[in-house]
Amino acid sequence: MKSSRNPERVLAGVAARGLKLDLGTVDLCFLVALYVRGETANLTSFTESQLEDVFAQASDAVQPEADQLRRRATHAIQRLRDQRLLARVDGQGVVRTGEFALSRLATGIVEFFLEEDVLTRESLTLLTTSLATALAGVLESARTASDDTRGTDDAWRDRVVGPLQITIGELVAGIERRQRGLDLQQEDFQAEIRRLLEADWFGAIDRCQDLLASTSATLHELNQVLLRDTSVLLGLLQEIEALAISAGAAEAEVTSHRVMDQVDRIATWGAARQRAWSDYFQYVHRYLRDVVRLDPTRALTQRLRDQLAGNGARFALTCAGATPMRILRTVAPLRERPPVVRPRAPREREPATEAGEDPQAVLEGKVQRALDGGATALSTVTTEVTAELAGPDRQGDRFVEAGRVAHTVAQLARATGELERPWVAVGDDLVIEDWTLGASKP
């Protein structure tokens, strides 16, 4: 059954509230005595004097020679009240002496310690039969609710969800509680077998075998009952779930699914215990046969102990020792790597003298060619010479080159200009003051 609680939040809440329980044997006996007194005398609450009487009874069992009974009873009642195990239920305050009842927490603790129910074939058959009958009733109600077109939500909640949660839940919890009881009983059996062997080595064989046989028979019977009955129970629950789905009753669907999970868990428990017990059963039988029967005086243990302690010659067991088969890995061909060599010729070249190109002479050549070509204005010469430097990324170079062209033109030709020289665009990105050019200088 899945819980929607957030574990971190729940733990933080418990930690913040500082919850704790501190119960000694006297306190537990006191609680148990109250529970039993309430059951036998049909009491729902206890007066203060009744509490003191019951405490005296509990104290007698644990500390028969202790004195100051009233004072200790007062402290014990206070301890239980502080821990919310005992609650005052009369609501009269100081007006009169109070009446007290065991809280749900106290009842739970007592029931845990008093729990002695163990699953038997009879109790399991009774419980599964009751469960099947109750489920058949719920199924009938589900069919009625499914046919009824009016007020279906209430009908499903009252006749299906409620019984599934309470009646069926209690019956299933009853089986699970008895399963836990049987688990504890098996642990006791295992401890008992050990005690029997320790107490009477060879003489305990028959008693051990009886214990094993009885437990095995019980488990076998339980498993058979579980296998047979759980399929019937699951069948009924599946029908209820199918009806709930078709009627759109989500709550009933979820509840029947939860109960199915619980029934599955019960069946799984049976199979798991059967397997575990089967292993244990075989182990103990082998032990009884191979160890106990072959060593009735239990001398082997002592002789082995002496041997281990170093009395006698040391020896070593011989075993076969074949080495594991070698599985060869796939061989990949080696890649040929050229040998490392040093070039014989020197890496560095000797420096040689090479005639350089004078950029100014080149520029002068270009300007002269433009002048010879008939250019009569600086703008024309500049356009012609800087044509190679066109483009947005070379704008700066062109600007510098235009200055050099003007300087060179002034050296090679006669330039005249008016007082107000006109600005003339040279290409898209350059504007210069224009000169009129005359003949070339000699």
Partner 1 sequence: MTRAEFPELGDVIQDAEFPDLDLALRRGRHVDRDDVAWYALLTDGQDHLEAFYRRYGCELVHKPDGYYYLLPTGDKLSRRQLAPGDMLVGQTLALLYLDPSAIERGGRVASEDVVAQLVAVLGSDALIAAFHPKRKRHDERVAQKAVRARVGEAVRRLAGLGFVDLADGDQLRLRAALLRFAEPVRGLSAPAEALAKLVAQGEVALAPDDDAPGDHDDEFDEAEPGHESPIDDSGDNAGDDPGDEPSA
Give the bridge partners for 102, in sequence order.
Answer: 86
Among residues 189, 205, 206, the alpha carbon closest in space to that of 288 is found at 205
8 Å CB contact between 414 and 435? no
Cβ neighbors of 6 (< 8 A, separation 6 or more) are none
Among 129, 301, 360, 376, binds partner 1 (CB under 8 A): 301
Instruction: Output the smallest distance, CB 218 to partner 1, in A.
Output: 18
Q: For residues 189 and 399, which CB has a smaller minimum distance to partner 1 in the complex?
A: 189
Q: For residues 146 and 215, which CB has a smaller minimum distance to partner 1 in the complex?
A: 215
Instruction: Output the smallest distance, CB 13 to partner 1, in A.
Output: 33
Q: How far is CA 348 from the centre of its chain?
A: 69
Q: How far is CA 19 from the centre of its chain?
A: 26
Instruction: Output the smallest distance, CB 280 to partner 1, in A.
Output: 4
The token pair at 98 is 């109070």
Among 300, 387, 425, 431, binds partner 1 (CB under 8 A): 300
Task: Write out the binding residues for partner 1, residues 187-226 only, by CB under 8 A.
Answer: 190-191, 193-194, 197-198
Count of residues engaged in binding partner 1, rule: CB under 8 A: 41
Phi, psi of 69 (to 5 degrees): -65, -45
Q: For residues 324 and 359, which CB has a smaller minimum distance to partner 1 in the complex?
A: 324
Among 321, 339, 343, 351, binds partner 1 (CB under 8 A): 321
Among 6, 282, 360, 411, binds partner 1 (CB under 8 A): 282
Tokens 């004072």 — which residue?
Answer: 71
Task: Write out the binding residues for partner 1, residues 252-281 only, by CB under 8 A.
Answer: 279-280
Task: Write out the binding residues for partner 1, residues 161-190 only, by CB under 8 A.
Answer: 190
Among residues 378, 149, 123, 350, the alpha carbon closest in space to that of 248 is found at 149
8 Å CB contact between 221 and 121? yes
Residue 184's CB is within 10 A of a number of other CB atoms, namely: 13
8 Å CB contact between 383 and 376? no
The answer to the question of residue 314 lying near partner 1 (CB under 8 A) is yes
The answer to the question of residue 297 lying near partner 1 (CB under 8 A) is no
The answer to the question of residue 287 lying near partner 1 (CB under 8 A) is yes
The token pair at 44 is 């729902």
Instruction: Output the smallest distance, CB 291 to partner 1, in A.
Output: 6
Report DSSP letters for 45-76, one per residue: -EEHHHHHHHHHHHHHHH-TT---HHHHHHHH
Instruction: Output the smallest distance, CB 220 to partner 1, in A.
Output: 18
Instruction: Output the smallest distance, CB 331 to partner 1, in A.
Output: 23
The residues that touch partner 1, with contacts defined as CB under 8 A, are 190-191, 193-194, 197-198, 279-280, 282-284, 286-287, 290-291, 294-295, 300-301, 303-310, 312-325
